[in-house]
Structure 1
Amino acid sequence: MNTEQTHLTVTRTIDAPSKDIFGVLTLPARHHEFDGSGFVRAADDTERITAAGEKFVMNMHGDHMGGDYRTHNFVTAYDENKMVGWKPAPEGEDGSAPEGPKGWEWLYELTPQGSDATEVSLTYSWSDVTDPELLKQIRFPMIPEEDLEQSLNLLAAAVTKD
């Protein structure tokens, strides 16, 4: 892998209007339905994302974190029916709130392809990870491209089941 690489982007067309896809993406309670990594379990927050600057909490599970853990997600991008993104921050071991995001981001961009189809791009970026200790601890990309593609496949299934 190219060590200079700082992001992965996958794209697919989903046979649904962008507003329907955006509706699923902005509801944290549904994120487990389209998580291709298998880490997301359930949302603590059931409120819809409505603006950049908001935060939502997810219950997660991964061997890389020793099992169950929680992450606070800081919404970094919001443009209705066009874009939503967030940067996660793992909760402290004592259950304390995180100091802030560690630098990686999930960004979904929606481009209408007529009235009933949308091109969806998912970018997983670690370009803002600068902590040398974290870079030693986590090998990026932690989530492989195949898992990102699976996320878009699962998103398509979640949207069309509504």
Structure 2
Amino acid sequence: MTTDDTSISVQRTIDAPAKDIFEVLTNPERHAELDGSGFVRSDERTNRIGKVGDVFTMNMEGDHMGGEYQTDNHVTAFDENKMVGWQTAPAGTEPKGWEWLWELEPQGPDSTLVTHTYDWGKVTDEALLAKNLFPLVSESQLEDSLNNLAGASAS
């Protein structure tokens, strides 16, 4: 685990090949089952993530947004079987600077070290920063996401 003023990273070795884990991560239909924060409810568009620049929409719920809302997730990192990441924004708006990144490092044919990072270091909107929302997701919630990914990758 690594935490600094603008990011949190957690790691776990998962007993599954990187390609199987990547298949789960790049399928927005599966993100609700992975989410350790409890915010993600379902995907709105079910296209698999395929490249940097893709956008997928998620149905969300949280008190910080007054209940139900949607996010557009702009893919910022994509390296097949190695890395996928996106910046999140309220639906219909441009990303505000926080990013989710998943990095996969094979540890053999059936084992992968997964690093999950939540980074808000690119947020520049002073009004948003003044609300003290960051970090919106805790280290333990990121660890829960890794645990959920381990279960999802085994099935």
TM-score (norm 1): 0.92
Cα distance in 2 for residues equivalent to 1:86 and 1:45: 15
The residue number in structure 2 matching 1:63 is 63
Moved >2 Å (runs of 4+): none
* Residue identity matched to 1:34: L
Runs of at least 5 residues in structure 1 that lack an aligned partner in the other structure:
92-96
Does 133-142 or 54-63 show the bigger shift? 133-142
2:152 maps to which of 143, 149, 158: 158
Amino acid at match of 1:124: Y
Give the counterpart letter for 2:86 in structure 1: W
Distance 1:159 1:66 in 2: 33
Structure 2, unpaired ranges of 5+ = none
Partner of 2:117 in structure 1?
123
| Deviation for aligned residue 1:142 | 1.1
**3-state SS of 1:127 partner:** coil
Superposed counterparts of 1:36-115, under 5 Å: 36-91=36-91, 97-98=92-93, 100-115=94-109
Aligned length: 152
TM-score with structure 2 length normalisation? 0.96
Per-residue CA distance 1:51-72 (angstroms, 9 max, x = gap): 0011000000001100000000
Give the counterpart letter for 1:75 in structure 2: V
Q: Distance in 2 between matches of 1:137 and 1:43?
A: 27
**Residues in 2 aligned to 1:35 and 1:157: alpha-carbon distance in whole angstroms:** 12
Provide the rounded CA distance (Å) in 1 between the counterparts of 2:135 and 2:105.
Answer: 25
- For 1:8-55, what per-residue CA distance to the aligned partner results, in whole angstroms no more than 9, with x for missing partners? 000000000000000000000100011000000000111110000110
Distance of 1:52 and 1:139 partners within structure 2: 27
Q: How many angstroms apart in 1 are the aligned matches of 2:55 and 2:10?
A: 25
Aligned partner of 1:12 in structure 2 is 12
The aligned counterpart of 2:22 is 22
1:146 matched residue in structure 2:
140
